[in-house]
């Protein structure tokens, strides 16, 4: 069996996308972004949100026509050619494996800071098992976690604002346009969750209608929540304290248990959806033999790419044990920005009834992705370029050996 089952409706798909984004952004990325943008953090957030919107409409437009697992990997192959598809797929897989590690570490840093890495590994193992039981169970668990996160975030915002503004935060360094762009690149990490919806295209009912609605709806919901949390953190902590915080929401006036439960639910929800999305893209690449073909297996009972998800889980555990949170955020952003650059370029080639949004948004999204990727911290850019070079060289070598 190599086909997945269409079991997800609009609410399920939106919840998976929104759950992916909230865990990634609210509890992990505001501090490093504030360290770059300072008081211009809201502007950086809006820039990241605009680029994400361009990417979202490109993904929605493409996924409505190509409703198969794999997202921009499939789009790139169909519209631009196999090498473009591989570049997108490779960027997504390696970038989102890093995102999985970031979410696991975020969860553990809030609930068990003294033994964060073993707890993070345990979380990955449990969620891989949940995913292996089928996509409907993934959607149910995601919706429960999302409801918990949204409720607690609302309470945290109200309690934090009622406590009043920050005092005595000290001098703040001046920032320039490049600093704001770098912060936007880091914040883009928080918006990339709607990609889960496109990668689940083979498991969505009525994809031409469901996928565009779910992608745009999830992105709009995430932007509202991010702006509310971002302004709250700037107001209550101040720029200096926010930029150096390891757990910003834990430093607010909200009760510690509330922040811990919210962070745990958000990061677990994101991690659950991330593992799902990476597994489906791995499946798509394995079908085309861009990754080992044995990863293309689909479980006959649960209709999930079980081998791909187990391998993804193992790689995430390795990354959790060998890296730190801030390092994987920058690297993840680079890989996913390349992925969306290919998606925008692919969408720009669509014409006629397949086109639902102006081509100008595709061009703006492409330029935005490349600019944000280029302004990320130098270490993230260099590591990202190295990983892409390894992937492309490996594909070239495999192709050469197959012809010999």
Tell me if 4 is assigned to some domain: no
pTM of the model: 0.79
pLDDT tens-digit profile of 232-283? 998 898 888 888 887 788 888 788 888 888 888 888 877 887 887 788 888 8
Domain count, the chain: 1
pLDDT of residue 25: 63
SS3 301: coil
How would DSSP label each residue in 59-70? Answer: HHHHHHH--STT
403: in domain: no
Task: Write out pLDDT tens, residues 5-40.
Answer: 677 777 877 887 787 777 656 776 788 888 888 889
**Would 1 be classed as within a structural domain?**
no
Choice between 4 and 390, residue whose per-residue pLDDT is larger: 390
Q: What is the pLDDT of residues 83-133, one digit of tens each?
A: 999 999 999 888 888 888 888 888 888 888 888 899 999 999 998 888 787
- Please check whether residue 2 lies inside any domain of the structure: no
Contact 138, 228 (CB under 8 A): no
Specify whether the CB–CB gap between 130 and 149 falls below 8 A: no
User: In this structure, what CATH number is given to the domain that contains residue 343?
Assistant: 1.20.1740.10
276 part of a folded domain: yes
Residue 307 counted as domain residue: yes
Please give the pLDDT value at position 299. Answer: 79
Based on the number of CB atoms within 10 Å of its own CB, is 170 exposed (0-12), middle (13-18) or buried (19 or more)?
A: exposed
Phi, psi (rounded to 5 degrees) for 361: -65, -35
* Range among 123-137, 162-176, 215-229, 357-371 rated most confident: 357-371
Report in angstroms the alpha-carbon separations of 290 from 87, 153, 344, 399: 10, 41, 22, 9
Range of the domain at 183: 10-398
Write out pLDDT tens, residues 222-238.
Answer: 889 889 998 999 889 88
Residue 5 included in any domain: no
Q: Is the pLDDT of residue 168 over 60?
A: no
């Amino acid at each position: 069996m190599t086909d997945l089952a269409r079991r997800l409706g609009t609410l399920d798909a939106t919840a998976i996308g929104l759950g992916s984004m909230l865990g990634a952004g609210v509890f992990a990325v505001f501090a490093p972004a504030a360290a770059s943008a300072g008081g211009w953090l809201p502007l950086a957030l809006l820039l990241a949100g605009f680029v994400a919107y361009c990417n979202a409409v490109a993904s929605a437009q493409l996924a409505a026509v190509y409703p198969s697992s794999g997202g921009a990997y499939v789009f790139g192959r169909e519209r631009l050619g196999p090498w473009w598809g591989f570049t997108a797929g490779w960027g997504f897989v390696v970038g989102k494996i890093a995102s999985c590690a970031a979410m696991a570490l975020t969860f553990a840093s809030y609930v068990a800071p003294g033994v964060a890495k073993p707890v993070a590994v345990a979380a990955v193992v449990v969620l891989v098992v949940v995913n292996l039981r089928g996509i409907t169970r993934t959607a149910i668990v995601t919706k429960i976690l999302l409801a918990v996160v949204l409720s607690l975030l609302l309470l945290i915002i109200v309690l934090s604002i009622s406590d009043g503004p920050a005092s005595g935060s000290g001098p703040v360094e001046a920032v320039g346009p490049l600093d704001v762009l770098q912060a936007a690149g880091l914040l883009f990490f928080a918006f990339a969750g709607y990609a889960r919806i496109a990668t689940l295209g083979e498991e969505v009912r009525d994809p031409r209608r469901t996928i565009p609605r779910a992608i745009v709806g999830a992105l709009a919901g995430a932007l509202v929540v991010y702006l509310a949390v971002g302004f709250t953190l700037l107001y209550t902590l101040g720029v200096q304290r926010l930029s150096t915080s390891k757990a910003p929401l834990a430093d607010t006036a909200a009760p510690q248990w509330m922040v811990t439960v919210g962070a745990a639910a958000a990061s677990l929800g994101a991690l659950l959806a991330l593992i799902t999305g990476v597994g489906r893209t791995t499946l798509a690449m394995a079908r085309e033999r861009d990754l080992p073909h044995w990863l293309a297996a689909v479980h006959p009972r649960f209709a999930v790419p079980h081998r791909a998800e187990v391998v993804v889980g193992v790689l995430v555990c390795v990354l959790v044990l060998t890296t730190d949170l801030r390092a994987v955020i920058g690297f993840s952003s680079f890989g996913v920005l390349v992925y969306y650059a290919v998606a925008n370029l692919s969408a720009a080639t669509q014409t006629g009834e397949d086109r639902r949004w102006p081509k100008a948004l595709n061009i703006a999204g492409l330029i935005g992705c490349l600019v944000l990727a280029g302004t990320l911290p130098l270490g993230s850019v260099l590591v990202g370029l190295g990983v892409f070079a390894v992937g492309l060289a490996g594909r070239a070598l495999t192709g050469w050996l197959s012809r010999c």
